[in-house]
Structure 1
Amino acid sequence: MSFFSSHYRLRVLFLFVGLLVSLLVVAQVTLKYRMLNGYALSDDAPLTKGKPTMFILDQADAFEKVFKPAQVGGKRPDVPNFARETAIGIVLPPSTKPPRVSISRVFVQDSVLNVRYIRIKDTTRNKTPLVTPVQPTLLLAIPAQKVLKTRLIENGKVIVTLRTKEEK
């Protein structure tokens, strides 16, 4: 009789642990994003010197203060729809050996927006560095979200955390 009761307890424990793990996985929502092309960083954008800077822009006027349309081959820039989207800008420090960067995942977990990107050294630039420094920039649009914090994660390490400003 004790064999069945211990076996039953073990089965209930595994069921409970499995249910708990499934709840943790469900609490994470992956967001679709689109890259915004055709923009350059404004000269008077407030940057953190020597570190990556993240901008969370949910209004057109704030967006226009930080990013301006780039003059590239007559192509029109991708315009974010601020009624439904929020723009996120990631700006890395200037370098004559700029890395390759790409967004790997954007998700919300426990009211925290997480933006993960991958930064890889560009080995072709080690032999021939650029003459003038370049400032790598990623600009993307996500569906508008109400979150408490936003985290910027580079290669698995949290490098910037911004708290959402309270609206008055």
Structure 2
Amino acid sequence: MNNEKLLISRLKCDDPVVIKKFYEENKKGFAFFASRYQLDQEAITDIYQDAVIALIENAKKGSIDDLKSNLSTYLFGIGKFMIYKKLKKDKRTVSIDDGEFPEVAFDMYEEEEINLQLALLRKGLKKLGEQCQKVLQLFYYEEKKLDEIQELLDYTNKDVLKSQKSRCLKQLKEIIKER
């Protein structure tokens, strides 16, 4: 039995350890993905929790027993449609800044490409220096304002922090392009 099948079977059994681990492993990646849609952190968290619940319910129904993609990709697909539903309900249009992040097409038909892009992003982030990782994590994952990051990381002024963030993003893009 491969890892995905084992994970699905553990989700069907409501294994709290497996559910918590899966939840935590995908939370930051989903927050990063969802931040492209200009939602507040509370909405992103709500959608993520609903998507995880939907995934578990689908596992229990047996509707993902023959899933061709990995569960993280499936979870992001569920989340994407929940985001679109919320944006439609709020009568907002989707605005994505493609220039700032590597373009990742979250289309269920391009699952292999999604997996590759997410893996490259994770590997790229790990190759960055500790300070770059902290800056990008605080800004994009935790959605801290530059003033807060400046205080947390003891930067002398905001312009230095902006330059650091810009260099870190450029470095991340270069690392990803090398692959």
The two structures have a TM-score, normalised by structure 1, of 0.26
By percentage of residues, which structure has more strand? 1
- Higher relative contact order structure (alpha carbons within 8 Å, sequence separation ≥ 6): 1
By percentage of residues, which structure has more helix? 2
The two structures have a TM-score, normalised by structure 2, of 0.25
Question: Is the radius of gyration larger for structure 1 or structure 2?
Answer: 1
